[in-house]
Structure 1
Amino acid sequence: MGVVWAPRWPVVLRDDSLSTPGGTLLLRRLRRADRDAWMDLRADNRDWLERWEATTPEPTGRDRDGRYRGGWPGRTQETKPPSFTGYVRALDRAAKDGSTLPFAVELDGELVGQLTVSSITYGSLCSASIGYWVGEHVAGRGVTPTAVAMAADHCFFELGLHRVEVNIRPENVPSLRVVEKLGLRDEGLREAYLHIQGRWCDHRTFAVTAPEVPDGLLARWRGAPQA
């Protein structure tokens, strides 16, 4: 049960329904030319984003008392993060092998975040997971739910997937609001699901299947009352 074919990449998804100046939202490939804008965006939103950032555990094995630590075999504490160019190349490799669709989120020509469709699996599961972050200055403007809906529809209509899910920390109120707006089904709590800021954290799983949105998740989102 693995990826059996690589979807077309790069791909650009576009929506013009947002009530912002211009109102054009693009999901596109992250480019090396985005470096300065990406670095500035991350720096400006460090406090907004850092508490939700995924981290990698210490190397796998057991401590001196025999307790299991968990982690990534072969990793050492000295492992350095890649350069931005290396980061973009790694995203492109993952996209081309069909396991991930790593989108930059662009609003009216401005880089405002990222959205990643990951764990793309075919066979009997036909599923993927969606994760995202955006700058605080665009939060609450419909950018994130629209982007998630666009990506979900691409998964359903172009990739032929059956199900997409979003996993969210229970205390991440802004992100919980996104899935509430989209009407995703709450499938319950996954204990110690992801490593976040140095510890294993619980997440709630929200999901939608293609038969639930025959006209697409974006169509359902556009038709929902805007709070």
Structure 2
Amino acid sequence: MPRPSAPLLSREQIAASALALIDESGTFTLPGLARDLGVSASSIYHHFPGGREAIVEAIRGLLAGENLPLEPGGNDWRAFADRWARAYRASFARHPKVVPLLTAQTVSDPLTLTAYETLAQVLRTAGFRDENLLHAVTILDCLVLGSALDAGAPLDVWAASPDPSSALGTAIRATQADPGDRSQRSFEIGLRIVLTGLGELINRPFDPTSPPGSV
């Protein structure tokens, strides 16, 4: 019998199937993934000796490869960070249920690390001190991942109080009257605020005792 012209199973196929299961139920198991693919669990381990965590990292790489910028492409750190954050959110907002799995383990996917390294290099070139740089990356990361989770939240995140004097209730009703995407709009506002705030760290030490609005 001739050998098949193409592998019956690939790492990309396994990662894509695991992502589909996560989109459906929020998680996956190796036996369930094997059943979904119509193969044995040993076939999956053949491609992923590291098991479940290795598959999660492959999913991270699958999403990072969609549109995360891997080259600086200019000297404006704000423009790059803006592009980086938007691309990152766009990938994960389509799969919000995968975010808790990704944040539960160390990032080791090579493609994703390259994207983070590029961001770090851009920030360092712009004048971010080493003691501030990782915090800047973390802040952008938290904004993106939190917004991606928010993209999968219920349409009504908060129950609006019928009390007309309720500030939150009034704000909820005003936002509901806006035909735009609340989550996307919140991300847009947050990203602008974060980039403005991060600019205060360039070539300066951060003083946690200083009042808001100063460093």
TM exceeding 0.5: no
> Which protein shows a greater Rg?
2
TM norm structure 1 = 0.28
